[in-house]
Amino acid sequence: MSNAATSAQTVQRAISLLRLIASSNTRDLRLIDLAEGSGLNKSTAHRLLQCLLEERMLTRNRNSRGYRLGPLLYEFGLAALPGKSIKEIAHPHLCTVAEMTGDMTFLVARSGYETVCLDAIAGHFHVQTMTSGVGDRHPLGIGAGGQAILAALGDSEIELVFEATRHQLSNYNQFSRQSLLNDVARCRRRGYSLDENMAADGITAMGKVICLPGNIPFAAVFIATLSSRMHQTRRSKLARHLETCATAIERHMV
């Protein structure tokens, strides 16, 4: 392997470690967890982690010895912010959906082979279903938002997603490659995603993809509510609200 190819592989491996840490619910993973999750041997993972620590991309918990995202990534994030973020653009439209439906409304954006939750708005219905918190990350295809984005990708790119996230998907026992492909097919037929009782028993979520100019899947908006409120006659109404919301956001992203 050439020096250039070796260097590129090293960068990819380091980024995969950062993604694993960002995706963790605890965001405090140990060396053994990261080696297993990334498919790297422990010595390679340790060498890369030490480099990321030195560059302030990671920090380490003194008590648990677990790794967390470091301050340099936050500084990079501030420098990368556009003039107006997708969250700023989408927020008023999400509020409208939450007000009209009474249900929790969420915004997730694609981040590599994952989604990250950017916003969550409560409706006025007396039971609100907080299935995702701001900052939560999941592999593409998990949850109504991730499912909507995955279904909008081309088949070859979907295979790349599966390859890149196969270690992470092992943490989601209720999902498999085939089940996700079945979800994609159903989402494409319906025009919206549907996640029934997967995030939590008795909870159903419905999502709609948001695309950048050029039909590039970029984000998704979804509603989560009690399954008893997501009966067939109501789904059509909610789908129209999501369609209107996604279209309005896309119009402002141009």
Question: How many domains does one find in the chain?
Answer: 2
Look up residue 125 and give its two tokens: 């219905």
- The answer on 119 and 216 residing in a single domain is yes
What is the per-residue pLDDT across 141-184, written as a single tens digit (0 to 9) for each?
999 999 999 999 988 889 888 888 888 887 887 788 899 999 99
For the residues 237-248, what does the mean pLDDT come to? Answer: 96
Final residue before a domain boundary, out of 53, 79, 105: 79
Half-sphere exposure of 34 (CA within 13 A, CB side): 30
- The answer on 198 and 140 residing in a single domain is yes
**Between helices 3-23 and 31-38, what is the axis angle to 10°?**
120
Contact 29, 67 (CB under 8 A): yes
- Of residues 78 and 4, more confidence is placed in 4
What's the 3-state SS for 163-225?
Answer: HHHHHHHCCCCCCCHHHHHHHHHHHHHHCCEEEECCCCCCEEEEEEEEEECCCEEEEEEEEEE
Dist. CA 110–CA 195, nearest whole Å: 18
For the residues 54-79, what does the mean pLDDT come to? Answer: 80
Look up residue 243 and give its two tokens: 């369609």
Q: What is the DSSP letter of 227?
A: G
Determine the structural domain holding residue 42 and report its residue range. 3-79
pLDDT confidence of residue 25 = 60
What is the per-residue pLDDT across 69-121, written as a single tens digit (0 to 9) for each?
888 886 776 565 555 688 999 999 999 999 999 999 999 999 888 899 999 99
Dist. CA 251–CA 254, nearest whole Å: 6
Nearest Cα to Cα of residue 119 among 130, 111, 77: 130
Residue type, 62: R
- The answer on 98 and 74 residing in a single domain is no
Dist. CA 47–CA 51, nearest whole Å: 6
Final residue before a domain boundary, out of 32, 53, 79: 79
Final residue before a domain boundary, out of 33, 63, 79: 79
pTM of the predicted model, to two decimals? 0.70
Output the CA–CA distances (angstroms, integers) from residue 3 to 6, 8, 10, 13, 189, in the order listed.
5, 9, 10, 15, 46
- Asked if the model's pLDDT at residue 27 lies above 80, the reply is no
Look up residue 137 and give its two tokens: 């990350």
Q: In CATH, what number is assigned to the domain containing residue 56?
A: 1.10.10.10
- The answer on 44 and 148 residing in a single domain is no
- Helical ranges in the chain per DSSP H: 3-23, 31-38, 42-54, 71-80, 86-101, 143-152, 155-169, 177-190, 232-253
Residue type, 13: R
- The answer on 135 and 199 residing in a single domain is yes
Contact 224, 129 (CB under 8 A): yes
pLDDT confidence of residue 64 = 78
